[in-house]
Structure 1
Amino acid sequence: MGTKSWWSRTDNRRLEAALGLATVFVGVFGVLLPVLGAVGLIDPVDTREVKAETTTRVPGTVTDAVAGHGMTLTGTHRADLVFAHPDLSQRLLLALPEVIGSLLLLVVLALLLQMAGTLRGGDVFVPKNARRLSAIGLTVLVQAVLSPVLPALTTEALVSGTPMADQIPLSVTFTGEYVLLAFLILALGEVFRRGTKLRADTEGLV
């Protein structure tokens, strides 16, 4: 007597549709629009949140800031670095962290879509999915490292040689959540790999 699976084809279509929509959303808003802004085809990103050493607006006045280096720093410890008219290199540096992060997220979504496709055959425990989970884990680990490093390095490049450099120290803060998530996914991928190998060995004995 067979048992009816709780996962239906409709559920699989909904999952693939949700992942597909998420992929389109990230591609448009996380990659396409920032890139178009960086090359000047649409309004670019002109603000970067930074950690400032003082509660101030530098240098001197807003007029001085715009006339001098085209940037102002306003706020408290968490301040906004605003560019009045960013040039191409500044636009690229402002957009780079978001674009790289979104590209890594697109890699994860693409791998999840491939895994969802295996559900059509009714079996997600296949060797390819073990490799995909490992790839997802490594991608999340890379994102965990780049997420704090890229904004810090690009901000340093943006303010280098300007009065802002003294107000905005190089600051990188790592958090353990994404690193832990990455290792959990890698561990799950290893479970998949060993499970599929064990099943293959068992079927070979039958």
Structure 2
Amino acid sequence: MSEKRRHRRFKKRYTVRFGTEDLSQSGFTGDISKGGAFIVSNHLVPLDTRLHLQVQGDDGNFALFEGIVQRHRMVPPELRQVEDGGFGVRFLYPGEVIADMVDTGKPSFELHFASAQQLRDTYERELRTGGTFVATDKVLRIQDKVQISLCLDFAGETLEHEATVVYITLPQGSGRAGASVVFTDKQSLEERLKPYLQASPVPEVR
């Protein structure tokens, strides 16, 4: 999958309460998207920390999330009147939370596709070779077995496949850490994806 942001960000200010075990800290959103948010706060949570978050909307209702802290923005005191400091958090998908609850024994990752065209583009770029890239901060090793869920949001379907880690990417500059994986059963992957790729014929996996 591409490392570029796939979700449109909205400059919305919502009240947020957060914490690792409770909701004792507070802040507000600098921006928010389907995939995460930037939390403006003087309390910087350590990177890779898993958080509970409560976001209150304009109508007074609130939503609860779990997320992972992925970046910090530290602003000198003299600039805080013109620039907000805080941290960026990625929202965990339900499948990631459930995988941790049931402890499948294998790291689990979700790759979401909002449209058939996005799936076709990723197929041409990665999946047709029998593998893909997973952006993650989890500690993985070469030859680790992982579970990949291809979430076809546009069709309301999820295709789950086992894969093997073949290469580890360390964070460099603005680049994300992650792992390249190869699917265990490439033929099954091809057959299950084929109905969703019919609108744009593509070469078969070899």
Normalised to the residue count of structure 2, the TM-score between the two structures is: 0.23
* Structure of higher CA gyration radius: 1
Higher RCO (Cα < 8 Å, 6 or more apart): 1
- Which one has a larger percent helix, Structure 1 or Structure 2? 1
Normalised to the residue count of structure 1, the TM-score between the two structures is: 0.23
- Which one has a larger percent strand, Structure 1 or Structure 2? 2
